């Protein structure tokens, strides 16, 4: 039986996905969203209050999570929406035809949290959902997108450039490293964090 672990998702890891929902007027909606794998059959979403995706999920109590590494799909979902032909009708909503895999999320708990950060004050809607209807559009090499590995690669590029950079540029790379380290420690798993720790040790040696 398929579960989230069979999709190479790991407990407590955050993955970049595309959430598909249906608007109140029946039109499709797609939006890139981070999804936390809470267990083999549960996910958690942290959503900004007021978005179309939040309103749709609160109304329908369901959504589809699409796993993909297709850059065009992410761009389309961010700027407006993929073309209608890219959506596929499912039992309780819509999936994306080009997704490597997808599954239904059924809301089982929802709560509101006030947040204040560098962007100011905002309200988060925390959604916990049971996963169902896991389906594969390709039968191997499912690789959910996690930003931590991208951060590790970028950190390694910066590390190699620091060796030949002038003092001003070196300070610029050091600031980038701090941002990357925060990202990796926030969204990555143990191996990502360990890799970033090794990189940071190298950075300290090169100061």
* CA-wise closest residue to 102 among 72, 61, 161, 62: 62
**Would you kindly state where each structural domain of the chain is located, as residue ranges?**
4-136, 147-206
3-state secondary structure the chain: CCCHHHHCCCCCCEEEEEEEEECCCCCEEEEEEEEEEEECCEEEEEEECCCHHHHHHHHHCEEEEEECCCHHHHHHHHHCCCCHHHEEEECCEEEECCCCEEEEEEEEEEEEEEEEECCEEEEEEEEEEEEEEEEECCCCCCCCECHHHHHHHHHHHHHHHHCCCCHHHHHHHHHHHHHHHHHHHHHCCHHHHHHHHHHHHHHHHHC
What share of the chain has pLDDT > 90, as a percent?
Answer: 66
- pLDDT tens column, 88-98: 999 999 999 99
- Amino acid 118: pLDDT: 63
Give the whole-angstrom CA distance, residue 129 versus residue 93.
15
59, 3 Cβ separation under 8 angstroms: no
Query: Residue range 168-188: average pLDDT?
Result: 88
CATH number for domain 147-206, candidates 2.40.50.1070, 3.50.50.60, 1.20.1530.20, 1.20.58.290 = 1.20.58.290
Same fold, 4-136 and 147-206: no
- What is the value of pTM for the model shown? 0.86
Dihedral over Cα of 7, 8, 10, 14: its sign: negative
In this structure, the number of other CB atoms found within 10 A of the CB of residue 194 comes to 12
- pLDDT tens column, 102-149: 999 999 999 998 877 766 788 889 999 999 999 998 766 788 999 898
Q: Domain 4-136, CATH 1.10.40.30 — does that match?
A: no
Q: Residue 20: left if φ>0, alpha if ψ -120 to 50, beta else—which one?
A: beta
- Amino acid 86: pLDDT: 95
């Amino acid at each position: 039986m398929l579960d989230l672990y069979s999709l190479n998702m790991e407990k407590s890891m955050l993955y970049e996905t595309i959430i598909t929902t249906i608007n109140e007027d029946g039109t499709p909606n797609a939006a890139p969203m981070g999804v936390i794998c809470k267990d083999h059959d549960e996910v958690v979403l942290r959503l900004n209050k007021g978005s179309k995706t939040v309103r749709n999920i609160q109304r329908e109590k369901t959504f589809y999570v699409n796993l993909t590494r297709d850059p065009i799909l992410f761009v389309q979902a961010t700027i407006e929406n993929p073309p209608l032909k890219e959506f596929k009708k499912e039992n309780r909503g819509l999936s994306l035809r080009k997704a490597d895999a997808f599954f239904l999320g059924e809301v089982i708990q929802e709560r509101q949290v006030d947040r204040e950060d560098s962007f100011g004050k905002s309200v988060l809607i925390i959604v916990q959902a049971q996963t169902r209807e896991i389906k594969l559009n390709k039968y191997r090499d499912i690789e959910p997108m996690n930003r931590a590995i991208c951060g590790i690669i970028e950190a390694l590029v910066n590390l190699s450039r620091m060796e030949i950079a002038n003092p001003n540029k070196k300070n610029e790379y050091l600031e980038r490293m701090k941002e990357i380290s925060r990202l990796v420690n926030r969204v990555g798993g143990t191996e990502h964090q360990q890799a970033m720790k090794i990189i940071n040790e190298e950075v300290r040696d090169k100061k």
